[in-house]
Chains A and B, each alone.
Chain A
Amino acid sequence: MAVIEAHDLRRTYKTSTGTIRRRSLEVEAVRGVDFAVEKGELFGLLGPNGAGKTTTIKMLITLLIPTSGTASVLGYDVVKDARAVRKLIGYVFGGERGVYERLSGYDNLRYFAELYGVPGKRIRPRIEELLELVGLKGREKERVEGYSRGMKQRLHVARGLLHDPPVVFLDEPTIGLDPVGARELRATIASLTEAGKTVLLTTHYMFEADALCDRIAVIAKGEIVAQGTPADLKAGVAEGAVVEVEVFGIPDGTVERVRELDGVRAVGVEERDQAQVLVVQTPADVELTHAILGQLDGASVGRVSRREPTLEDAYVALVGESE
């Protein structure tokens, strides 16, 4: 039995617009999501902003009731057995919110320990352990409002682990962190599965998913567009090539014209310093460089290179296809 299971999860939001004549709109944030996470796995839910990652995770942690479909954690249904689920999960989200600024770090942890039902005698030692783990030892008596962003995030992680939950949900945990802080946090996340926990992580950073996850589900516009190990996903584009053309000012309409060329799989534009880079994915055996350059007639072109695809390209292709 999988530790986390989702079957055809759907979630629709109703919003309204206008002040005098209110019209209600239905937004389908999650449209039939299926996946299963095995024990000890680090599973990634990867997708751009607005793809439905946060909505999905909130359904799994019992904060949102699915419009239809079912989900369970360790066999407990997230709607019917919400309380049982809550005892077994830890929830951490990125950013600075989620802590009581006017209390000290220690008080924050003390309060949540009580909320999560950590047995009385275990509370103090557990807090000490976690402060050690996240590197906040010595600062715990200070008020959180004086903590840096990285420290708040670390406190947040400590809070999520207070009751030693077997399943941990992380919603974009490294967002807003500086590179060093983010790297340390990733190391901590990796150590969780080493300790036998099952982890579900949402992120929009491809390299993060690639580096950390055992398996990834790519989600875009509420649907899962691909699922598999990072190697599997890369294989999807592996028999291909990527042509990068540095252009100083891409003329209007170029991207569309290049996309229409025979054999082109995906086209993207990246900003790098002074220039824009046209990134074109093609099958490996087709030579399209001339055709592409032909579409750039009149523009100022710099370097042209050809390389192997990365997970990022796979991601762009997958996410782009669903548009």
Chain B
Amino acid sequence: MRAAVRLLALGWLFHLKMLSRSAFDGLLGVTWPLFFATIAFFLFRAGGGEQTLLYASLGAAVMGIWSMTSTSAGSALQRERWHGTLELLVAAPANFALILLPLTIAMSTIGAYCLVATLLWGRVLFGIELQVEQPLLFAVSIVAAVVSIGALGFLLAVSFVRYRFAWALGNLFEYPVWLICGFLVPLSLLPGWVRPISWALAPTWGVRAIRESALGGSPLPDVLLCLGLGTAYVLLGVLVLERVLRAARARAVLSLT
């Protein structure tokens, strides 16, 4: 058990190290959501009052976390293939889930940089003041969002073990989650049938928790729901992983570039 925790922690730390040493990727990762945030700020300013701008700012801030995670989840395994390390990871006795999960959580952690960047951007360029009602819960909410988004990324990455061109599908999930998880669009505006899907996605609760702790409300149930869903994703991912790896070994797709 302790070995598993050590593996998770070490994996997370090393992937974080590797990701932060890649200047260009980092640059894009941080600036990409800013384009969308900028548009949102212009639109919300044109449309409504101050309150809505902070609402938009917080929502846009979390968009970055998802963006980093979803776009990397697909290409994470592709990168391991290029390095030649994917084979080594699969051939190791450790459970592959313990190797993959810290990778995606490291990515969503980098997304935290995006969060800070977006809030700063909103403050500097559009004068959006960040007022936080419950700072401690705000911090907790951010951590919960990061971890559970990492877990969702894990589930995505697991599904992509089998397919060489998974990176294209990974990018595909960026916009939909932005749309339906209430980052910039309140769930009430979405068609009824979409809402259950939104509720099943951890980012929805993560964003809610962050907003409630900043603007005033009760973020704790949201935090718990967020983490609960994250745990469910991990469990589901682990179950699927065994089957997926076996299929990958049967089809010989592990070392192909």
Contacts and interface: CB of A to CB of B under 8 A. Distances in A.
A and B touch in the complex (CB under 8 A): yes
Interface string B235-257: 00000000000100110101100
Interface string A38-76: 000000000000000000001001111100000000000
A24 B254 CA distance: 20
Interface in A174-231: none
A63 B87 contact: yes
A98 B81 CA distance: 9
A268 interface: no
A63 B245 CA distance: 9
B234 to A, nearest CB: 19
Given A63-B254, A87-B93, A103 B83 contact: no
B249 A64 contact: yes
B83 A99 contact: yes
B84 A61 contact: no
B18 interface: yes
Interface stretch (A2-10, A109-117, A242-250): A109-117
Contact of A102 (B3, B6, B22, B250): B22
Interface in B57-108: 82-85, 87-94, 99
Q: Chain B interface mostly helix, strand, loop or mixed?
A: helix
A114 B93 contact: no
B18 A103 contact: yes
A64 B252 contact: yes
B18 A102 contact: yes
A107 interface: yes
Contact of B94 (A65, A95, A100, A116): A116
Contact of B93 (A58, A86, A110): A86
B45 interface: no
A119 to B, nearest CB: 9
Interface of A: 11, 13, 58, 61-65, 83, 86-87, 89, 91, 93, 95, 97-103, 107, 110-112, 114-117, 120, 159
Q: How many B residues are at the interface, by size bracket?
A: 20 to 34
Contacts of B246: 65
Contacts of A11: 252
A52 to B, nearest CB: 13
A63 B91 contact: yes
A91 B91 contact: yes
A63 B89 CA distance: 10
A63 B88 CA distance: 9
Given A95-B84, A98-B85, A107 B92 contact: no
Given A91-B88, A115-B89, A98 B83 contact: yes
B140 interface: no
A115 B252 contact: no
B18 A63 contact: no
Pairs of residues from A and B, 5 with the lowest C-beta to C-beta distance, nearest first:
A97-B84, A86-B93, A98-B84, A115-B92, A87-B93
Interface string B2-22: 010011001100100110011
A41 to B, nearest CB: 22
Contacts of A120: 3, 6
Contact of A63 (B14, B83, B99, B249): B249
Given A63-B90, A97-B85, A107-B17, 7 more contacts: A97-B82, A99-B85, A100-B85, A102-B18, A112-B88, A115-B89, A115-B92
Contacts of A58: 87
Contacts of B10: 110-111, 114
Contacts of A100: 14, 18, 83, 85
A13 to B, nearest CB: 6
**Which of the listed residues A62, A64, A87, A114 has the most CB atoms from chain B within 10 Å of its own CB?**
A114
